[in-house]
Structure 1
Amino acid sequence: MRVATFNIENLDDGPAKPNAAPFEERAVILRPMLERLRADVICFQEVHGQNAPDDQPGPRSLRALTRLLEGTRYESFELSSTTLKGKPDVERFRNLVVASAPEYTIEEVREIQNTLVNPPMYSRVTADGAQEAMPVRWERPTLYVRLRKGVDDPLHIMNIHFKSKNPTPIPGQGPENFRWATPSGWAEGYFVSSMKRVGAALEVRLFIDAIFDVEPEAKILVCGDFNAEPDEVPAMAIRGLTEDTGNPELNGRVMHPAALSIAESRRFTLYHHGKGNLLDHMVVSRRMMASFVAAEIHNEMIHDESIAFATDNKFPESDHAPMVAEFAEDAMSIAPLA
């Protein structure tokens, strides 16, 4: 079994924004990238939704992604995605999508967003005027999908896209035309963004532990755009290392980054100011690691996204490289000894 994660960067098939590649041009580049993954399951981030034509009313759908997968090995894959609350429509922007091969039965799809963690109340200190405490909600939900192949134990997948490191706007402080009024305002915006990112990671960890409570040998895979390096707080919160908890009895709940098996010189999914960053991750349970074969990051052709931003030119592929991990299914069907 091969599982991939890919922040496909604002996938849409509508009129292209200035300096952005049109869908047709992107598809020519993206389809071979997807074929190379040879994946059975792909976790996508930043998939936009498209409104139905005026003469064909209906819910907003994943038309762009469906078109992209046409003619590829993924054409018959089933798509599980985030949706508007209480509606069949998908979100307009940045949906999370799990594409799974037909042999996998989709048993459950759920969104987790301030479900296990109440939004913390925060009073902004640099904003103009008197500020009452406001709830700080996570920017995006976590998409949980439970898959099963035949009579095997279920595969628990969590697809995530945490808040970026860009500061959250603060009234009266900015940003206005990318400028902040004071360093303190910028710092507070950065703090609020960090709160959203780490809070969402805490919620993911709580959900992982809830699965382990029921299935101590669960097959769990958390993947997506963490917007954090492996040793930063959001990633460490999800990993739950014994060195951090100080409790060897929790060894079975440790989550392991698959990318650590990749040579350090190749261990990056984003290129920024001439430096490789590992912001996209695949973190798996011990049961998954027992069947782990290898991981790859297809980063040979990604561009320096900071240069693209400086010139406002958008490349047709994505500023993120996809990652794929392979697992031996025969080994996965045998639970480790307790």
Structure 2
Amino acid sequence: MTTTRVVPVETLHRIVEIATRAPSVHNTQPWRWRGGSRTLELFADPTRQLAHTDPDGRNLLLSCGTALHHAQVAAGVLGWQSRVARHPDPDRPDLLACLDLSPGPPPATADETLAALERRCTDRRRFTAWPVPEERQAHLARIANHWGARAVALTDESERYIAERLVRRAHRLQWADPDARAEQAEWRDRGGEDGIPTDALPPGPDLVGGHRNRFQSAWDDRSAPDLEASDGLLVLFDTDDDPAAWLRAGEGLGAMWLSATTGGLALVPLSQVIEVPETRAAFRTEVLGSLAHPLLLVRVGWRSTARPAPVRTPRRPVSEVLELG
């Protein structure tokens, strides 16, 4: 008779430490974890949901999905295989996933992957002028698809034009909404554990009305408001617009982000176009032909190696998000 080895507490701590470096909407970090002898459970934290711009919890679950992806990859490089049950209890919608951990050999690329997980962040400054080849964009989409999400690169000129127009429209609508402005202000300069430090926001052309414009993306890092011709555009989508689809999309986003990091690319979510009901509906009909629901638009480009490293956003200590059973 054989028994499964108990996962050391130090390993659970390390997995969660890496997982919580994942990006999240407004750097809200809306997750909680509970570790057992052989399991690690992921919960949504509704107290960190953005009630005005994310009333359905779409971005909240996308955020948790990126952390779920990072947790699985982190477990693998630390020598633990994970079998994941998503939404295992219909009576507990906040329980998003349960990872059943068992010993397994780490991948040959463990060191490279771990380094990429630790340095992952978004450069909020403009990308370089080098265009991203369509094949590189398609590769990122395939990475997301491999993780159960659905993604496609928008390379058709007319699709890009429509997407860019809708991004600008969503930006204007959110900037004109006092409740949306108040919500984003709540998550600025909150201290050393969450939210967005002003120093992490791009200066110069991103100034709006004398203040740094934070509506280029609602995720933990900001982008320039104008899309360049050299930027790649990808959309995460699904035939369903429900919590299961949102969690899958988050896992796919985490996978794309990690692949972009290892490949010298920068990735920035453009979430406003999905957050605003008007532009989300228009994107569905005008870009996706009413065949699927858009869940997140992402732009990708080459990061400059000549600039200093970007300012990173803070993270909450593991002791605040991990409960040991």
Q: TM-score range by the shorter chain?
A: under 0.3
Which structure is richer in relative contact order (CA contacts within 8 A, separation 6 or more)? Answer: 2
Calculate the TM-score normalised by the size of structure 1.
0.22
Give 1 or 2: higher helix fraction: 2
> For the pair shown, which has the larger CA radius of gyration, 1 or 2?
1
